[in-house]
Amino acid sequence: MSPAVTPWTTPHVRQVRVRLHGHDLSARVGGTGGPVLLLVHGLLGSGASFGPALDLLARDHRVVAPDLMGHGESEKPPGDYSLGAFATQARDLLTVLGASSATVVGHSLGGGVALQFAHQFPALVERLVLVDSGGLGRDVSPALRAVTLPGAEYVLPAVFNRWTRAAGRQVLRPLQRWTPPGTTQVVSGLDTLADADARAAFVHTARAVLDTGGQRVSAADRVYLARALPLLLVWGGADAVIPVRHAHELHALLPGSRLEVFPGAGHFPQVDDPGRFAAVVTDFVTTTADDVLTPAQRERRWADAVRGASSVADAAAVSPSPTPA
């Protein structure tokens, strides 16, 4: 771990290790009462990517912030690193921890996981919070697109290894106190790439959602389903990874959603301004308490939305005529 980064545990937030389907998954959990918040980090992140906001949110909520498989201190086995696999993993973790439903908060890649979670398990999602979320458009930083290039998995070990990590730590140590929190998160993520298993998991995860043109997995055809539950969008106004335009476009499509832009924040508004982030999420949870439906109602509303936007026709009526020989 980079010396500039705290593992982020406090008297109110502790780290646990869960044995899930034969693999070790690390998670930060905190709080003993109140609504459950499932906080899902982004690519190269971990539960610690929510920083001090974890402790602030744990005062009034029960927080669960996993290190997704392949990330942080969780195991990094060969396998499925798709959004669907991460969503199922998060569902199973909540089950093991005894949480029957949650407000799902997803940052960056975790936003895509949160959207997938809501699609796969609508009865479990009380509210949805998307933070500088992926899955809402093609735009993404060139550095992430580069990971999808052929041969990137052979270049990464030359750039990120135990020798370059040691040298980087020596250079950065005197600059710790002046390093912006968001930059610290990026450095921490890159630091993990010195590990071969972490590099492999990173490449598999990136290629599952990106290509050289940008984000290739999009929820654009399904965002109408988000009308079925309270939705909050939080974005850094200076985000250079995923532009704030994505937030404004989704907000315009879903007028019932809430939008909070942090003008001076980058891709990590939750660490650039943790106090405001925790306050915004807490207010959202509190003021939408009357809007939260029962699991059966959520499942029914989701099903009604899917049926309402779909149609069924006789195959013969829509099949093209065979081409004459």
- Residue 267 falls in the annotated catalytic set: yes
Of 108, 133, 188, 257, which is the active-site residue? 108
Of 101, 267, 272, 273, which is the active-site residue? 267
Q: Is the pLDDT of residue 86 over 80?
A: yes
Whole-number mean pLDDT of the chain? 86
Type of residue numbered 312: V
Residue 134 has a pLDDT of 94
Q: Indicate the pTM of the whole model.
A: 0.87
Q: Are 1 and 9 in contact (CB under 8 A)?
A: no
The model's pLDDT over 55-65, given as tens digits with 9 standing for 90+, comes to 999 999 999 99
Q: Are 102 and 88 in contact (CB under 8 A)?
A: no
Q: Which of 42-51, 78-87, 178-187 is predicted least confidently?
A: 178-187
- Residue 108 falls in the annotated catalytic set: yes
Query: Which of 110 and 5 is assigned the larger pLDDT?
Result: 110
- Can you spell out the DSSP letters for 122-186? GGGEEEEEEES-SSS-S---HHHHHTTSTTHHHHHHHHSSHHHHHHHHHHHGGGGGGS-HHHHHH
Cβ neighbors of 3 (< 8 A, separation 6 or more) are: 169, 172, 173, 176
Query: Which of 180 and 294 is assigned the larger pLDDT?
Result: 294
DSSP strand pairing (23-30 vs 214-215)? unpaired
- Residue 74 falls in the annotated catalytic set: no
Mean per-residue pLDDT, 288-299: 94
Type of residue numbered 84: G
The model's pLDDT over 156-214, given as tens digits with 9 standing for 90+, comes to 554 444 544 444 444 445 545 545 665 566 556 556 777 888 888 988 998 999 988 98
Quote the CA–CA distance of 270 and 315 in Å, as a whole number. 49
Place 35 in a pLDDT band, splitting at 50, 70 and 90: very high
Of 239, 257, 272, 273, which is the active-site residue? 239
Quote the CA–CA distance of 51 and 6 in Å, as a whole number. 8
Query: Which of 4 and 63 is assigned the larger pLDDT?
Result: 63
